[in-house]
Structures are given as C-alpha cells and as structure tokens.
A and B are shown apart, each in its own frame.
Chain A
Amino acid sequence: RKEVEQDPGPFNVPEGATVAFNCTYSNSASQSFFWYRQDCRKEPKLLMSVYSSGNEDGRFTAQLNRASQYISLLIRDSKLSDSATYLCVVTTNAGKSTFGDGTTLTVKP
C-alpha cells in the first residue's frame, strides 16, 4: 500500500461545478500537509497548506482529519483555468516528504 494515496481520477466537470479530492496517508508521524497544483510539463506550485482547523482561500477549501488520516480539497465554482493535476503532499516530523500520484482535473465549457 502506498504511503499517500489519492483519488485516481480523472475528473471531468463542467464550468461552475464543485469538485472534491481526497487523499489518505498511512504514516502517523506526518506533521505537515499541502496541496500542490501541477500544469502539464511544469513544476508543481503550492496551492495551499492544510491545517487541522481547515483553511479557505477563495474558491478553495482544504481540510485535515488526523484521526482518519486524510486530507481533502474542495474547489467551488470551477473555472477552465483550474484544469491541472492536483498533488497532495505529506511531510513527516523528520522532514521526509511523500507525494501522492496526483488527480487530474479537466474543467469543460
């Protein structure tokens, strides 16, 4: 079983839709959690950090459930420009980071 697992996708949604991605992790020593966005053939870029209290940035909401060891990302009112691959990342207290395989989102007109 992989240390970090994401919804396999792909997700194909119309503009304006709400879409949610989940990511589970197995290492209980994990202490930091992030969502990254990666466009085709580019480097990943930080989308948002994920905190236990949950956090929101415009149309994006991230949540962490430590008891169940999963994080989620909710995108509301999807835009064409949201089309990308979304990667969850989990970092342990020893500094080791593990990426999920990513979930591809395509937003269609």
Chain B
Amino acid sequence: DGGITQSPKYLFRKEGQNVTLSCEQNLNHDAMYWYRQDPGQGLRLIYYSQIVNDFQKGDIAEGYSVSREKKESFPLTVTSAQKNPTAFYLCASSTPGGPGLGDEQFFGPGTRLTVL
C-alpha cells in the first residue's frame, strides 16, 4: 500500500526538550511539506522540500528544523526554542507538476504533540 506514515499519533514531551516527528512516504513523490494546525485554524507551512538535500522555510519556521537526506523521509525537529509547540503536525507529499497538472498534496494522519 502506498501512502504517508507519521509516527507516533500522540506524543507528549516535557518543556525544554527537543522532539523529532517522523514522516515517511513510499509514493515516490519529490516534494514534502510540514504543517502545523492549531484548534479552529487552518494549516500553516513550517518547511517544505522540493528535492532531496534541499528545503525552504515556510511561514512559521522559527523553532523548527528539518532534513531531507532521503527522498522517502522528511523528519521535523521541534526544538526548545519553539514557544508554543503544542499542536497538530501534518506532513504531506506531492509530485510537482505544471499548472493544472497535479502537485496535489497527500497527507499523513498527523501527530498530536503536547508539551507539558
């Protein structure tokens, strides 16, 4: 089965600890994305990567870091510098296309991070 997996589904951490969220896809997609969603709000882009070994900051990158060493994997680290890390984190992937030619994003099930 092709898809995107995120683990764990629920994660609890103490304040001041770094935590890494995993995201793996076997869809052979080039692009991957990390979003954060707070209750009652839309998704905000943290980081995105169009190809291996390259990534760009999104709208709210402060306090987060990523790596893209393999096409299949795009882990996100929530550092202690992130002021309000408790949120729903969603990973997505897509195959970049031209206008009207695709690049729809497919999402993993998400990780709910709670920092105590």
Binding site for B on A (CB under 8 A): 31-32, 34, 41-46, 49, 51-52, 87, 89, 91, 95-102
Contacts and interface: CB of A to CB of B under 8 A. Distances in A.
A27 B106 CA distance: 23
Contact of B43 (A49, A95, A96, A99): A99
A9 to B, nearest CB: 11
B41 A101 contact: yes
Contacts, number: 58
Nearest to A50: B100
Given A32-B99, A43-B90, A43-B109, A96 B56 contact: yes
Contacts of B109: 42-43
A46 B45 contact: no
A23 B48 CA distance: 23
B105 A101 contact: no
B42 A46 contact: no
Interface residues of B, number: 29
A99 B104 CA distance: 13
Contacts of A99: 35, 42-45
Contacts of A45: 107
B42 A97 contact: no
Contact of B100 (A32, A96, A97, A100): A32
A89 B59 CA distance: 14
Nearest to A51: B100
B50 interface: yes
Contact of B105 (A46, A52, A100, A102): A46
